[in-house]
Each structure stands twice: as structure tokens, then as C-alpha cells.
Structure 1
Amino acid sequence: MANSSIPGAGPRPVNVRYAETWLQMHGLGDGSPTPLLTARLAVRQRVRLLGSVLQAVLILGAALALAFGGSGSHRPTPVLALSALVVALVLARTLLDAWIRRVDRQAGAALARRAAHPVQLGWRALLGRPYAVLVASTFAGAFALGASALAVGEGTARYAAVVVLVAVVGVGIGEALQLRELLARPVVAEDEVSLMADVIMRIEDARDGTMPTVLWSLPMVLLFGSAPGWWNAASIGFVVLGMVAYITVQFRAPGAAAVAREVVGAR
């Protein structure tokens, strides 16, 4: 990749080592990464870490909403607080995406030239059909579990179902906004190699952002309540089947680098 730089960038050596490993892992050569690529990968690494923190906060918030409202009169205050937390987390996720977009914009402004044929990815290239089916079925399963407990449960189980459904809807809104951002994000590339790297990064962003970890965790909130035995069995089965499906997709679906080569080669 050609040597370019962002004014005032100066990434730490650990970021350079990470970028070198990333290039080798995706078959993009053994050369030193440009400061542009290093900066773009570094911000994505930080955003993934902060995104994991946001997911943990959502799970903790759902558990606390059940703990403070799942006994006695099931007051609506904890659910309202959880709804406010969901809005705040969606806003935080939007700000993280804006951070990536700002770094990419700086990288694009520093390019001496731009790729002649920028690639605009659709959702099929971005996620791929197997991942899209996995995400859709996971959302459907999590929502069905919450709705079934709400319909047939009572007391604590019904209250916990409301908590789960609020959190599931929040996750869905956050992921939809993130995918929309990825689809609209402009390409930052000056040659075939950097174009390949750009496509791979966006595919990895999409797959990482739609990992069903939180959706597997949320139904477990009800296990701490008074959910009926059949629901507990269905919830555990949902998690087990989801993990098996995810592992299968990971092994059988083409990797991000393979999809990127197909997309770039099609131009």
C-alpha cells in the first residue's frame, strides 16, 4: 500500500503491530501498513471494545430492571428507566459510528488520489445471506420468547418478559442504524489493495455489530424470575441452537476477505 499519512496522526506502535497482523491475516501482503490504515483499524478496535461495554451495560440494565421491579407490585419505573437506558445506548452507538466516520473522512482527505471505481456494498455483500438469516432468526426467536412469556405468564414472568422485549427492540434499532450507516459510508481507497482493505473492514464491522451475543443473553434474565419450566427449557434450547447455528455459519460462510475479493474483482 502506498505511504500516506494523516496530519497529526502518530499511532502507537501497538496499533502498527495490530495493522500488520490484520494485513497478513487477510492476505494483503507482508509490507508495513500505511498510517491511514493503521489509524482506521485502531479506531475500529477501540469502537469494538466500547461496543462490548455498551452491550454489557444493556444486559446489566435489564437484570437490574427485573431485580427492582420484578417483585411486589411490578412498578413501571424500572421499565421506563430501562427504556431511557436503551435510548442512551443507541445514541452512544451512533456516536461511536460517527467516530469511525470522522476518522475515515480524515483518511480520505489525506489520500493523494481516490479509487476510480468505488464499491457500493449492498446488504447481501455486507452481511451475506447466511449471516442475514442468522440475525433475522435470532431476533425472531428472542422476540417470540419474550412475547410467549408475556402472553401466558403472570406476575414476575410477565414483568420480566416486558423487560426482555424492551431490550430486544433496543438492540434491533441499534443494529439497524449501524447497518444503515455502513451501507451509506463512502469508500476510502486509492488503489486495489486499499480498496480491498476498505471492503473487508466494512464487512467485519457489519458481522461484528450483528453478533447475537446480547440476544442470547437477554432471555436468560427470565430464568431468574418465576418463568414456567417449559419457557426455561425453550430459552436454553434457543441459546444452544443459536450457538450451533452461529458456529456453522462461521465455518461455512465465506470470510470477509473472500467476499471482498469477489466484490472488487467483479468491478
Structure 2
Amino acid sequence: GGIGKTSLAKAIIHDSVIAERFQGRRYFVSFDELDASRISTGIVRERICRAAGLDGRLTERWEEVTAFLTGADTILVIDHADALTATRNADSVARIIDDFASSSSVVLLLTTRSRHTTPYFATQFVSVSTLERKYARKTFERLLDGVDNHPLSVNIIARRAAQHEWSGAELLSAWKTNQAALLENGEGKSRSLRATVELSLNAPSVIALGDNARKLLEIIAFFPQGLNTMRVKALCPSAIADANALCAHSITHCEGNRFTMLSPVRLYLSHKTPNPGTGFLNTIRNLYYGELS
């Protein structure tokens, strides 16, 4: 989370080339702030109606809405689409989106945190990486290494600096003093590192991985350079499968033969477990000595 998927989608539908082609038929539908368990077919239809400037009561005459949206060239953005596949009505919701995807006049753009939970109709995936350093440097130079060029973290820090009117030296001092606090600037995923990380960790498909996966996350977070795949494999029988699943959810990633994570995610996890138990520390010690050898 916080990598910039929503911002990129909004930039696309406001791009001059897209605006010229689709004119006023550019619609953005977000399900980001909704609890996936509460999303119903009716809510999906209503949000699409309102995004298109239609009366929400038209959900009862859905054929008319579909005819309107597919009647001319249209671009429809579904933000946080993975929430739709986690609903109790996932199949019926998917059919709604499938109807648009099958239309030659509709371009469908979805943002999602996980390839595994993307609706089945997707034809092309585009991974969104962290900012190129030359662009991120325009915002902050000396803090980039601390947050791995993570767009949300850079944005939150910029807002905090503007609110407090900090000088560069004061900002660096605040970062060194309490990094976790500096990455909180209100509620919601656009203002809080905690909120966006917990949104990923609380996804049903991540929770289903169980306690071993959460423990694995905390272990990987302890090693800034990542953990060798052979060390991960030795932890427990499901460790590699869990690590790969966490990569698929963009919580961790693989660099060569090592599993690692972005610095902001590591910061969040270390802040959540400030006093690890003896068993955890013994595991870390053994892995550390193994890495040294």
C-alpha cells in the first residue's frame, strides 16, 4: 500500500490524451474506505451510478445503466478492486464488472494490491514500483533512503514538514527522533503509514495465511538487507510458501535470493513489536549467526 496506485489511476484519467478520447465519460469508482465484508451488489451498482453522475436509484434498473456506460467510449476506473473479490457476493459483483470488461467500448482500469485477488477478467497487469530516485529527490533528498522512495511516506513527511514549517535540519532531527510518529498525519490510508499497512495485513487472504506468516514478517523485518531464501526455508515447512504469498500481496518482495521489505513496512512492524519474546530473539540470533557464517 501507499505505492501510488490510486494517484497513478487518477493521473491517467486526467491525462490530456485520455481526456480528448473519452471526453466527459471518464469515471472513477473507489471502494478503498469500505469494509470488504459489507460490500454488496447494491453498493457496487450505486457507486458506479454516482461516479457516472447518474441517480443512485437506477440500481433497480441496472440494464439502463449498463446500456448508458457501454453506449459510447468510456473509461471506468475501479480503485481497490481486490476489496470486491473479498465480499460475500464476490461472484455476483464480478459479473457486474465482467459485463463492462466484455464491452468493446469500455476501457476498464483496476488498482489492486494483490495479483491473486484480482478479478478473473484482467488481461494485462502493470506493476507499480517505487519512485525513480531522480524524481523522488525533488521532494526530499536525505530522507529517501530511510523510506525506500516510498511515495506515501514521502508525501506524509512533506505534509508534516509544511504544517510545522520545519527547516531541513529540523525535519531531519524529527525523523531521527521518532520515525514512526512522523509517518502518521491523521486517519486514512492517504495520511497514515499504519493505516495503509494494516489494510494489507488485514486482508482476508493475508489473515488466512495464519500466525506463521505473521511471525515470518516480523523475522524478515529484523534484517534490513533481507533474509536468504535458504534461511527462510529452514524456519518451518510452510515458510517459503508464506513468503511467496506475502510477496504476491506486495507486503514483502524478493531481491535475488533474499526476501525483504520496504523500509516503511519494516518500521511499522518493528514499532508494533517493540518487546519481542525470548523464543523470537533466539530465532533471530540463530539466523544472524547463520548469515555471518
Higher strand proportion: 2
Same fold? TM cut 0.5: no
TM-score when scaled to structure 1? 0.26
Higher relative contact order (CA 8 A, sep 6+): 1
Normalized per residue, the structure richer in helix is 1
